[in-house]
């Protein structure tokens, strides 16, 4: 499978532009605020979450998204600027994708819904 710099769909000007850019792992930095928002919500919803179901959901989402993204990367539909990622890859996919973006959004949504249920929907009754 071609790496990002060997991707036949990326032209030479784009490769030169990427090579000249300063390294800045934007994907991780942009996710940090959501992690700070999650901490107080987790304290509010910790007792309400069915953790076995949450882990099963995350594992299912992780496997399906890893397969879909591998397919997209191998066909050249999805590429990353290597200067905007942490560097290590899993099957050509930057490591922050499966470790951060596949498990965090579903977990965030489950905790958000339980927090809203506790503080918004139950207070109306």
Closest CA to 57 of 99, 100, 104: 104
Is residue 7's pLDDT more than 60? no
pLDDT digits over 34-46, tens only? 878 888 888 888 8
d(Cα 44, Cα 36) in Å, to the nearest integer? Answer: 14
How high is the pLDDT of residue 88? 86
Q: Work out the pLDDT band at 60, boundaries 50, 70, 90.
A: very high
- Are 22 and 83 in contact by the 8 Å Cβ rule? The answer is yes
How high is the pLDDT of residue 106? 87
The total of other beta-carbon atoms located within 10 Å of residue 108's CB is 16
How high is the pLDDT of residue 8? 60
d(Cα 93, Cα 3) in Å, to the nearest integer? Answer: 9
In percent, how much of the chain has pLDDT > 90? 22
Distant-in-sequence, close-in-space partners of 97: CB < 8 Å, separation ≥ 6: 69
Output the average pLDDT for the chain: 81
How high is the pLDDT of residue 6? 58
């Amino acid at each position: 499978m071609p790496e990002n710099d060997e991707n036949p769909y990326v032209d030479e000007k784009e490769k030169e532009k990427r090579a000249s850019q300063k390294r800045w792992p934007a994907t991780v930095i942009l996710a940090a605020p959501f992690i700070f928002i999650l901490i107080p919500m987790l304290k509010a919803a910790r007792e309400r979450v069915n953790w076995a179901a949450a882990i099963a959901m995350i594992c299912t989402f992780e496997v399906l998204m890893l397969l879909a993204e591998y397919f997209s990367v191998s066909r050249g539909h999805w590429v990353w600027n290597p200067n905007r990622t942490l560097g290590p890859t899993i099957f050509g996919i930057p490591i922050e994708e499966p470790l951060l973006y596949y498990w965090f959004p579903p977990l965030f949504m489950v905790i958000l819904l339980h927090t809203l249920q506790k503080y918004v929907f139950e207070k109306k009754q």
